[in-house]
A = this chain, B = another copy of it.
Amino acid sequence: MHFTSEQRLDNGVLEREFTLGEIPGILWTPGSASATAPAPLILLGHPPLGLHRMYPRLVARALHAAADGFAAATIELPGSGDRPRWPAADQARADLRRAMEAGEPVSDEIIDALILPLVEKSVPEWQAALDALLSLPEIGGPVGYSGGVISIGVRLAVVEPRIVAAGLFAGSFVPRAMFEEARQVTIPLHVLLQWDDEGNDRQAALDLFDAFGSKEKTLHANMGGHTGVPQFAGDDAAGFFARHLK
């Protein structure tokens, strides 16, 4: 892990860009006032649109986390942003777009091609990032995972024991195979659903929530479309991590 830049943001939060092999990432750590002990960490998931494009929303989430005393970090997804193109992923996205523009139902084949390779490839990268991040003296644990492609969060919750709580965003397509995987999740979950999300299958989101094996799981459904998650929903999610990472 190599730091390539650093700057101070509001309240002394330190933002550092890094690379982990070929993978770019960003780490935010709380200002020195609150950084008396190694901080718990929240991994910030995001859709495969590139870190630059997602930066405004990521930094807002990171500042919120830092205000609660948490470090936050994210990495670029394979095939996104400055990483090498991934023709199979581009093809899957083109197929999805074509189906949606034609008003056709999005087939299981399209969803599988879109999501499963992304899960397979990115989850070990998040785990490698976790290895590197937890080796820093300023970061302790426990670790939470928040948002992004929900199937990545589900797989991480199953395979990565260092993640003790996950806040998931039910806003992306879910392959059939992930419903079975969801039953194996046992950590506390906080699931956000935008009730009238145009591009999302509400019933699939409810079915996935039902499938999770966790004894503590909470679903928060709000109005406002895919990108219209209300401010107070972010506050509630912060409360969830405050309960589980402190």
Q: Which residues of A contact B (CB under 8 A)?
A: 195, 206, 209-210, 214-223, 230, 232-233, 235-236, 239-240, 243
- CA A74 – CA B210 in complex, angstroms? 34
Question: Quick one: which of B232, B233, B243 contacts A232, CB cutoff 8 A?
Answer: B243
- CA A230 – CA B230 in complex, angstroms? 22
- CA A236 – CA B218 in complex, angstroms? 12
Which of A218, A230, A240 counts the most B-chain CB atoms under 10 A from its CB?
A218
Q: Which residues of B contact A214 (CB under 8 A)?
A: 223
Copies in the complex: 2
In the complex the two chains form, is A223's CB within 8 Å of B217's CB? Answer: yes
Q: Which residues of B contact A218 (CB under 8 A)?
A: 220-223, 230, 232-233
- CA A79 – CA B55 in complex, angstroms? 59
Q: Which residues of B contact A240 (CB under 8 A)?
A: 232
Nearest CB in chain B: distance from A50 CB, A: 31
- CA A239 – CA B230 in complex, angstroms? 13
Q: Which residues of B contact A206 (CB under 8 A)?
A: 206
In the complex the two chains form, is A219's CB within 8 Å of B195's CB? Answer: yes
In the complex the two chains form, is A215's CB within 8 Å of B223's CB? Answer: yes
Question: Quick one: which of B221, B230, B236 contacts A209, CB cutoff 8 A?
Answer: B221
The 4 closest A-B pairs by CB, nearest first: A219-B221, A218-B222, A236-B236, A220-B220
Nearest CB in chain B: distance from A187 CB, A: 13
In the complex the two chains form, is A239's CB within 8 Å of B243's CB? Answer: no
Q: Which residues of B contact A216 (CB under 8 A)?
A: 223, 230
Question: Quick one: which of B209, B219, B223 contacts A220, CB cutoff 8 A?
Answer: B219
Nearest CB in chain B: distance from A193 CB, A: 8
Nearest chain B residue, comparing its CB with the CB of A217? B223
Nearest chain B residue, comparing its CB with the CB of A190? B232
- CA A54 – CA B224 in complex, angstroms? 36
